[in-house]
Structure 1
Amino acid sequence: MSSYAVFLRGVNVGGITIKMAELKQALASRPFSDVKTLLASGNVVLSSELPAAGVKTEFEACLREAFGYDAWVVVLPADRVGELVAACPYPADDATTHTYLTLGSDLGVLAELHEAGLALDGAQLTALGPEALAWLAPAGGTLDSPFSKLSAKPKYKASTTTRNLRTMIKVRDAAVS
């Protein structure tokens, strides 16, 4: 049995609303155990006999069937979440900036996003591994930051999702408790 963190893309924004209690109930019929939902932004930790790719397939199928939308998730082994948090060179809390991790399920797409991000003026962007990028945005200006606008392009929608570093720390802690 392995532990995983599952990050849902685009829930509770843009008209797709999923109550975490309903999500947990829908997941009960799938090959998952120890399911915990965190925050209202689509973060789940769970255990499964399936490999990460199988968790992704089952989880996305569950979302499509139970909630009727074209769902995408990024699945990481729980211990990998801890490694990514530890590798992040930026602060979790800072008065002038916010730290984000963009996670990807398609390593080629994430590598392309990384290259495009490095070309942006003043980008503070670090690859934490093939599945994660860390970046900074000015406090109060995240959505207007050049990297945020780049990563929001439709071509990245199906394979990436972004979380604040503080959220990633909460997911890491929930996965080990």
Structure 2
Amino acid sequence: MTRYVVLLRGVNVGGVTVRMAELRELLESRGFAGVTTVLASGNALVTSDATGAEVKADIEAALRERFGYDAWVQVLTVDALRAIVEAYPFARARDGWHDYVMFVLDAGVATALLACELDPAHEQAAAGDGVVYWTVPKGDTLDSVLGKATGKAAYKPHLTVRNVNTLEKLLA
């Protein structure tokens, strides 16, 4: 049995509402054990003997069927998430700054994001293992160069972003 972290993209924003109690119920009905949801932004932990790819396909299909939206999730092991958080390359918890991890399924999307011309005094990005690390001043997330880039429709199936504080809660 493997403990997985499941990150849903785009829930509880833009008209897609998935209550965490409903998510927990749905995941349990699919046979996942030890289901826990964290915060109200589409984060869950499940235990399964299926592969990560099988877990991903199962959850995406279940979400589409139950909630009627184009569901995209990212699934990784708890150990993989821990390694990603531990590798965060920027100073953490700076006053006035957000620390993010972009989980990117498509290497071409990661390359495109990392090619954005950033003002390092305003935001910074760095490549990681299947992720792009990002730091940006609070209040500027959506209006920053990378914030705007992550909103591209073509990236939706391949990308989800989480604050490092949220990832630490998933690991706690």
The Cα shift of 1:111 comes to 3.1
1:78-124 C-alpha deviation (Å, 9 max, x unpaired): 1011001100022442212111100022333323322x23x334351
CA distance in 1 between counterparts of 2:169 and 2:111 reads: 26
**Aligned CA distance change for structure 1 residues 151 and 83 (closer, same or farther; 3 Å):** same
Corresponding residue number in structure 2 for 1:72 = 72
- 1:96 corresponds in structure 2 to 96
Deviation digits for residues 106-152 of structure 1, max 9, x if unmatched? 333323322x23x33435111121x1111111122111111111111
Q: Distance in 1 between matches of 2:162 and 2:57?
A: 21
CA separation in 1, counterparts of 2:76 and 2:44? 11
TM normalised by structure 1 equals 0.90
Give yes or no for contact 1:92–1:166 (8 Å, CA) kept in 2. no
> Residue 108 in 1 paired to residue 117 in 2?
no
Distance 1:144 1:17 in 2: 24
**Secondary structure at the counterpart of residue 64 of structure 1:** helix
1:17 aligns with 2:27: no
The CA distance in 2 between the partners of 1:139 and 1:15, in whole Å, is 24
Q: Is this contact kept in 2: 1:75–1:105, CA < 8 A?
A: no
Asked whether the 8 Å contact 2:113–2:146 carries over to 1, the reply is no
Instruction: List aligned pairs for 1:21-170, cutoff 5 A.
Output: 21-114=21-114, 116-117=115-116, 119-122=117-120, 123-129=123-129, 131-170=130-169
Report how many residues are paired: 170
User: Mind listing any 5+ residue stretches in structure 2 that lack a counterpart?
Assistant: none
Task: Give the whole-Å Cα distance in 1 for the aligned partners of 2:70 and 2:146.
Answer: 25
- The C-alpha deviation readout for 1:33-55, integer Å capped at 9, x for no partner, is 11100000000011111111111
Letter in structure 1 aligned against 2:159: T
Q: Per-residue deviation at 1:168? A: 0.9
TM-score, normalisation: structure 2: 0.93
Q: Identity percentage over the alignment?
A: 45
